[in-house]
Amino acid sequence: MPKKTFAIGIDLGGTSIKTGVVDKKGKILDQISVDSKASKGPPSVIQQMIFTIQHMFGKYKETECMGIGIGSPGVISVNEGLVKNPPNFANWDEVSLSKAIRKATDLPIFVENDANVAAIAEANFGAGAEYKHFLYVIWGTGVGGGIIVDKKIYRGPYGGAGEIGHVSIDYNGPVCNCGNHGCIEAYIGQRYLSQRTKEILKSQPKDMPPSKIIDFVDGNLDKIDPYIISMAAEQDDRIAREILEEAGKLLGYALVSVLNVIDVRVVVIGGGISAAPHYVYKAMESALRSRILKPNKAAVRILRAQLGNSAGMIGAASLVM
């Protein structure tokens, strides 16, 4: 029997499907990315996933593959490999990805929520490798989370634990996409953050030196996104810095409530906005430390995720290992 040397990890997203061949040390040996046909419905997306798998089996022996792991948005029933209502995917009610992919291979298939998958990657091979317990926060388009306890995902009784983006920091705050008020996602999620930046820039007095953000988007404020804000912040733009520091502080406040409830002490920040400058982390950590329950003040720490965009593939492959 051939030795099993790798697993395939698929990071299923509304924009792209990234499929990687990952060895036992979490190293990506090969990868392919295709634009996701999320708007075309489940059969097209499944066809794409199978294509990327077969592409890899043209280069790596299927007999040496341990199995296939998939990280997906939406609500996941881990046992049945079921994906429910992933946002940004059209006509997708409830689909068993395990069943669908099994038509193409006899290998074991595992499906898990995308935030949880990234958390597992950081737990095994990234910023969380030294810690048994931590909260992984994905800070990007939205804000999500995965709770790692004893090196494993804590899913809660129904598999949905860790929705930290919908922890409210102000019950009279702005309305979130989810219907709640003052969710941390409604302050620091990509869309909200860009919107607020636009408003702040518009309200600046004309005689102030213009923000670098305006240069970066050629004056078109609709083009603002957190990456642009980060770039401006790195060039010491005052407004960009203030916006990101404020966002970090607010995330720190949300984390106080979360950690007081789940009693975890280490937080790993991943997702697109986690590349923000160091002082954003400082603002976050000082907000958290100043308000968390006393016995935990000294022990809390916030770390930057280490695996970047590859966390999805690596974590998905880890599901198999």
Instruction: Point out which residues bind a copy of itself (CB under 8 A).
Output: 75, 84, 132-133, 145, 149-150, 155-164, 166-172, 178-182, 250, 253, 256-258, 260-265, 290-296
**179 or 219: CB nearest a copy of itself:** 179
**134 or 281: CB nearest a copy of itself:** 134
**Tokens representing residue 281 in the block:** 């982390």
Intra-chain end-to-end CA distance of the chain, in Å? 18
**1 or 261: CB nearest a copy of itself:** 261
- Give me the least distance between CB of 201 and a copy of itself, in Å please: 24
> What is the torsional sign of CA 265, 28, 65, 56?
positive
Measure the CA–CA gap between 150 and 90, rounded to whole angstroms: 37
- Give me the least distance between CB of 313 and a copy of itself, in Å please: 26
**Pair 228, 262: CB distance under 8 Å:** no
**152 or 238: CB nearest a copy of itself:** 152
- Give me the least distance between CB of 73 and a copy of itself, in Å please: 14
- Give me the least distance between CB of 263 and a copy of itself, in Å please: 4
DSSP codes joined into one string, 93-143: SEEEHHHHHHTT--S-EEEEEHHHHHHHHHHHHSTTTT-SSEEEEEESSSE
* The one-letter amino acid at 205: P
- Give me the least distance between CB of 132 and a copy of itself, in Å please: 7
**Tokens representing residue 194 in the block:** 């860009």
**162 or 312: CB nearest a copy of itself:** 162
**64 or 94: CB nearest a copy of itself:** 94
Measure the CA–CA gap between 210 and 205, rounded to whole angstroms: 9
What is the number of alpha carbons within 13 Å of residue 312 lying toward its C-beta?
21
- Give me the least distance between CB of 247 and a copy of itself, in Å please: 13
Helix (H, G, I), strand (E, B) or coil at 33: strand
**47 or 290: CB nearest a copy of itself:** 290
The secondary element (H helix, E strand) that includes residue 198 is helix 190-202
**Tokens representing residue 187 in the block:** 């302050």
- Give me the least distance between CB of 296 and a copy of itself, in Å please: 8
Measure the CA–CA gap between 118 and 96, rounded to whole angstroms: 21
* The one-letter amino acid at 154: Y
**Tokens representing residue 290 in the block:** 């100043």
| Beta-sheet strand order (sheet of 65-72) | 28-35, 16-23, 6-12, 65-72, 109-113
- Give me the least distance between CB of 171 and a copy of itself, in Å please: 4
**43 or 160: CB nearest a copy of itself:** 160
**62 or 170: CB nearest a copy of itself:** 170
- Give me the least distance between CB of 10 and a copy of itself, in Å please: 24
Q: Within the chain, what is the greatest distance between any pair of CA atoms?
A: 74
